[in-house]
Amino acid sequence: MPSENPQPAFVLVRPQMGENIGAAARAMWNFGLDRLRIVAPRDGWPNPKAVAMSSGAGRLLDEAQLCDDLPDALSDCTFVFATTARQRGLTKPVMSPEAAMQLAAEKIAAGEKIAVLFGPERAGLENEDIAKANAIISVPVNPEYASLNLGQCVLLVAYEWMRRVGDVVHESTDLGKGDWATGQEVEKLVEHYEERLEEAGFFYPPAKAANMKLNLRNLWSRMRMTRADVQMLHGIMRQMVRWKERGGE
């Protein structure tokens, strides 16, 4: 059974190759979408090539709604987006995938049922198909090569859906088994380096020493360190001192 998460239905209109249907299902499942509708696939249904290409997303194909025509596929929908890269001469709102999925999320939250149409690989949706949509999704692509593979187009729209409703972490740091160094640990490191550099005569001339120490502390503060980093830097300084005491040149 499809998941309980509210989401748009992705409608593949007259898809031609089973491999592309499988790629579309895989792209949907990558981003947690599983409401797939297939309208009049050229090579019939089910299609073993679609299953092979779905790579673990076969459940979407098993549960896909097979429709004879587009009105059947859209019978329960209240708002429809159509994806196209070409100017169609039809008066409709044209939205980026990002803006479209933001609107879709708002409408679904209000209880509406949303569909996104994707056309056949060779020429995309016909004007007759797009006339049934409320708005157009246009992907900003190279105008000299605007053709997108069906799976790619599905992936782009599905990704924008996830960005709207998912808990997307835009930046993180993998600490492995370590932890960030505490303020106290960093302060001990600063003191260690200042003491040893003072002994080595680094802070010269005396009139500039205070400003040099300030700049050094500022350097440490710009380097967010783990406890392992701090321990390594302590070790580097201790080894340098030992080497010098042994008469190193």
Best CA proximity match to 186, nearest among 157, 209, 165, 217: 217
Q: What is the DSSP letter of 182?
A: P
Q: pLDDT exceeding 70 applies to what percent of the chain?
A: 94
d(CA 34, CA 56): 13
d(CA 75, CA 115): 10
Q: How much is the pLDDT for 247?
A: 75
| Residue 4 falls inside a structural domain | no
Question: pLDDT for 192-207, tens place per residue?
Answer: 999 999 998 999 999 9
Q: How much is the pLDDT for 169?
A: 64
Q: How much is the pLDDT for 248?
A: 64
| Residue 20 falls inside a structural domain | yes
d(CA 81, CA 8): 10
> Could you tell me if 152 and 241 lie in one domain?
no
Q: What is the DSSP letter of 45?
A: S
Q: How much is the pLDDT for 249?
A: 59
Best CA proximity match to 22, nearest among 8, 9, 31, 12: 12
d(CA 135, CA 121): 20
Mean pLDDT in residue range 94-104: 95
Categorize the per-residue pLDDT at 65 as very low, low, confident or very high, splitting at 50, 70 and 90.
very high
Q: What one-letter code names the amino acid at 27? A: A
Categorize the per-residue pLDDT at 89 as very low, low, confident or very high, splitting at 50, 70 and 90.
confident
Categorize the per-residue pLDDT at 44 as very low, low, confident or very high, splitting at 50, 70 and 90.
very high
Residue 55 predicted with pLDDT over 70 = yes
> Could you tell me if 107 and 223 lie in one domain?
no
- N-to-C CA span, the chain: 74
> Could you tell me if 14 and 127 lie in one domain?
yes
Among the candidates 115, 137, 165, a domain finishes at 165
CA angle 13, 16, 18 (to 5 degrees): 105
Question: pLDDT for 2-26, tens place per residue?
Answer: 777 899 999 999 999 999 999 999 9
> Could you tell me if 38 and 143 lie in one domain?
yes
Residues 6+ apart with CB under 8 A from 58: 25, 51
Q: Report the number of distinct structural domains present in the chain.
A: 2
Q: How much is the pLDDT for 13?
A: 97
Q: How much is the pLDDT for 172?
A: 67
Q: How much is the pLDDT for 70?
A: 96
- Segment (H or E) for 194: helix 183-199
Among the candidates 124, 139, 165, a domain finishes at 165
Average pLDDT value over all residues in the chain: 90
Mean pLDDT in residue range 74-92: 89
Mean pLDDT in residue range 115-125: 91
Give the best-scoring range by mean pLDDT among 59-73, 81-95, 232-246.
Answer: 59-73
> Could you tell me if 210 and 104 lie in one domain?
no
> Could you tell me if 45 and 139 lie in one domain?
yes
Mean pLDDT in residue range 108-130: 93
Categorize the per-residue pLDDT at 214 as very low, low, confident or very high, splitting at 50, 70 and 90.
very high
Mean pLDDT in residue range 47-68: 93
| Full domain range(s) for residue 127 | 9-165
Task: Give the CATH number for residue 70.
Answer: 3.40.1280.10
